[in-house]
Amino acid sequence: MLALMAFGYLLLHDLLGGTLFSHSAWDSYTLQAMAWRRGSLSLGQNYPWLELAVYQGEYYVSFPPFPSVVLLPFTFLFGENTPNNLIIAIVTMATAALAYRCLRHAGMRETCAVLGALLLTWGSNLMWMSTNGGVWFMAQALNMLLLMWALHCAMCKRRVLAYALVAFAVGCRPFSALAFFPLFLFFYLQDHRPGEGFCKTALRQWKAFLIPLGVAAAYMWYNYARFGSVLEFGHNYLPEFTEAENGQFHLSYILANLKNIFLRPIAFGEGLSLEYPVFDGFLFYVANPFFLLLFGQIVSDVRHRQMDAMRYVLLAAMLLNLLLLCWHKTFGGWQFGARYTCDLLPLALAYFCLAKRQSLYRWERFAACFGILLNVYGALAMNFLYG
């Protein structure tokens, strides 16, 4: 699987002009890492093609900082020209490998686990993101890798590392903090003894909380040092949101975004050309068909009365994450405008693994092949039709 993915990236980047080892200029994280090496929290100048926060006359990266930590070692070898296109491809391949391991651990046979892993990566919006090491895509790709790794660690009962990985994921996509709730419940159910109170059982995990608390303290210090607020990563200081009537987050955005991601379809134009949204939402379960498998599994669990606390908490975390994404003014651009929903895929896989299935149904295999074809097409379309 990994060899075929590597060959696929070689072919794709050849079509894009031989860019596999190139540096994407949409990389705020490398610039931030270089600023750290100079002893500065700000970038020192404006880069008009990037989304930068403007605060007290200085320019800052407006995203959480963990991807800069990952890219920092590469700056000592490559300076500002880090091979971020190659890095994000490797990150995606690692995500596929972890998804495969999770499915195998849950009892799925090898060929179906491979197809499921490819569906989660090349059959999702991550496919196009993984061809470009830009700031927006690196954050989501690393977030998926870290949450997928945390899921694998949880299944292997490595709770300290699982909690630490979720904490690092929050430094890529802040709403990933919701993954702490199902993770806590998973280990709580393992630790609980008959007749034991909630607090006593919960405190059995206290050692696993130490690293996330330390990581959270580091994030808060970094935010305060830059913007004077422990909760401000910088997005609120983007000109796009400082000039918006309702700011970055507002309840008035929710209904429009929900309508777009659930009901906004593809249309056919003249000569059967495809007309689909590029910004702010699209049928996310078509762009990312693993959600169709999730919906089918939920229906099966309800029918067979297999719903339990773990399933309910996973669904609640996904639903709340989706609502928080819809609370945002924009729902992301490019690749059908549904790429934000990739953030939910590791939780969706965690739910799917609870069924401990050995194979995929025929319709699920069809959905996987459809998703891979659609997203490989989307990766090419975003470059050749809209690039």
Q: What is the CA radius of gyration of the chain?
A: 21
- Tell me the average pLDDT across 228-246: 89
- For 197, residues 6+ apart whose C-beta sits below 8 A from its C-beta are none
Q: List the alpha helices (DSSP H) in the chain.
A: 2-15, 28-37, 66-78, 84-105, 110-121, 126-129, 135-155, 159-170, 180-191, 198-202, 206-227, 239-242, 254-263, 284-287, 290-303, 309-326, 345-353, 362-384
What is the rounded average pLDDT for all residues in the chain?
Answer: 95
Amino acid identity of residue 178, one-letter, is L
With a cut of 80, say whether residue 335 has pLDDT above it.
no
With a cut of 80, say whether residue 282 has pLDDT above it.
yes
- Tell me the average pLDDT across 309-314: 98
CB atoms within 10 A of CB 62: 22
CB atoms within 10 A of CB 281: 26
| E strand or H helix that includes residue 53 | strand 52-55
Q: What is the pTM of this model?
A: 0.96
Tell me the per-residue pLDDT of 347-381, one tens digit each, with 9 for 90 and over: 999 999 999 999 999 999 999 999 999 999 999 99
Tell me the per-residue pLDDT of 32-90, one tens digit each, with 9 for 90 and over: 999 999 999 999 999 999 999 999 999 999 999 999 999 999 999 999 999 999 999 99
Q: Which of 178-182, 249-253, 377-381 is predicted most confidently?
A: 178-182
CB 95 within 8 A of CB 342: no
Give φ, ψ of 52 to 5 degrees: -115, 140
Segments making up each domain of the chain, as ranges = 2-384
- Hey, CA dihedral for 248, 254, 258, 260, is it positive or negative? negative
pLDDT classification of 387: cutoffs 50, 70, 90: low
